Chain A
């Protein structure tokens, strides 16, 4: 079983649209399992219209709560908190749950034992059936931390299911950025596909995400999305990939039909297989599959 993770650094370059197309194309030839690792803003479900089979609570980390009846208002908790999460208003100390990082420093330092740590319900994760295979996805509650841990959970569940059911590929739709959820999404992948647009920020962000995948020793390949928006920058990306010896596995044209397909809840390759954009996606998938198989 091989694991492909789709990343981009910069957001909105087309990770999810491309992941949905690969799910469609790959499932026609092999058994696949899907994981949406963008738990902040999970969108794969919008294209795959999944039917939820299982739902689980995701509890991660703690938050401090002050018992007003026991508190002696000494202020020690506010003094040791480095996250600015504890403040007194009219002599009453309270915890701001959004700022609290659950470090428990206040809990251990409180002389009156007035502070308790309670579990933080951070989100939900799901196992769902789709027409292309099983999908593991999640919803991180608004403003919660630990998105990296939820990503790890989603990926772990997808991998376990894949091993049990003899899947050939795990396709992971990753989050934007280079921080903790991206690191969690990268971990254990056989190949990272970096989706880049030919813009000044796309090129800049490609360098940072490539450095990140290299840091974690995950091999990478690149696809240029909307390549015809700026042919000069596309050439620059091709040159950069050659210099960095990263395979450039495809160039996808700009086509508003991709959005139209999304509105209809379909990957473009399923919505209109004859379009140039769909043909290019098919070619890209084949090149990527060969790269993945060679690992």
Chain B
């Protein structure tokens, strides 16, 4: 089962919920209460990955992620301009007797390579970031890191996910998604079994929650549940919305300065306040119930 923790708005507590849920499940697995199911964690916020600051994994593998970008052989090129004509991203241009490639615009689709009538284009890897893999206790961990100045996060997110999900039969995978509602979020949510939305009960939180639900439930047809964080601040908007949209509120975490302080130190919620463990067990049970009632 793949559970993606998303939110729309940034800073609502995705990482807090994802890390504590994962640590709780890891402990359940250790106690033999998960029936042999493995627990895995992936940080899909490759622009600003923070889960490792809380989980402190021992990283053992590292791999570069690259896109295949065109390299033109000047000996074969006739400067016909076909490559520039077919490229939808303006990533390749033919200027007089020169072909210019703009790696930061290239999606690595390979269309120019296929279309070149002279077979003058070869593809070479262009590194856009890295993925790292390791362990947190008995839990597999992976995250990615987009290079500074590189625009495209989705290929790295794809790699984080394939790295975690490929080798095992039906583990529980917790994925921490980036904020927003565009392609990096879609890439994180694709193939998931459940979208857990962490929000705060404010107009900003509600506005962005509704957009994120539109992506997860509307576009990807995923079941969705909500965690209200910093419960008690703001207003009733999120409660009213969830009732109207028939979205279950699976957990409420009150506004508590101790939680904010533990976060600022890099301490997971269930480590700082162990009394939350039972509530994360209940959260997991509620999600299982939602996925297969």
Contacts and interface: CB of A to CB of B under 8 A. Distances in A.
Given A46-B204, A142-B181, A208-B48, A11 B10 contact: yes
Interface in B226-249: 233-235
A205 to B, nearest CB: 5
Among A178, A179, A212, max chain B CB count under 10 A is at A179
Contacts of A38: 180
A12 B10 contact: yes
B217 to A, nearest CB: 10
B75 interface: no
Given A98-B186, A148-B151, A178-B148, A43 B207 contact: yes
Contact of A180 (B54, B152, B185): B152
A21 to B, nearest CB: 14
A229 B261 contact: yes
Contact of B211 (A41, A98, A145, A180): A41
A11 B9 contact: yes
Q: Is the interface of B mostly helix, strand, loop or mixed?
A: loop
Interface stretch (B20-28, B263-271, B274-282): B263-271
Contact of A230 (B9, B204, B264): B264
A176 B204 contact: no
A209 B146 CA distance: 12
A46 B261 contact: no
Among A9, A198, A263, max chain B CB count under 10 A is at A263
Contact of B107 (A11, A80, A103, A176): A103
A220 B75 CA distance: 45
Interface in B19-56: 45, 47-48, 50, 53-54
Interface in A131-184: 140, 142-145, 147-148, 175-183
Interface in A199-257: 199-202, 204-205, 208-209, 211-212, 215-216, 229-230, 233, 256
Contact of B207 (A41, A142, A148): A41
A180 B147 CA distance: 12
Contacts of A72: none
A201 B110 contact: no
Report the contact-size class of chain A (Cβ under 8 Å from the partner): 35 or more
B208 A178 contact: no
B264 A233 contact: yes
Contacts of B80: none
Contacts of B225: none
Nearest to A230: B264
Contact of B214 (A62, A142, A179, A229): A142
Contacts of A269: none
Among A62, A183, A262, max chain B CB count under 10 A is at A262
A153 to B, nearest CB: 15
B200 to A, nearest CB: 8
Contacts of A190: none
Contacts of A180: 151-152
Interface of B: 8-12, 15, 45, 47-48, 50, 53-54, 86, 88-89, 107-111, 114-115, 146, 148-153, 178-186, 190, 202-204, 207-208, 211, 214-215, 218-220, 233-235, 255, 257, 260-261, 263-266
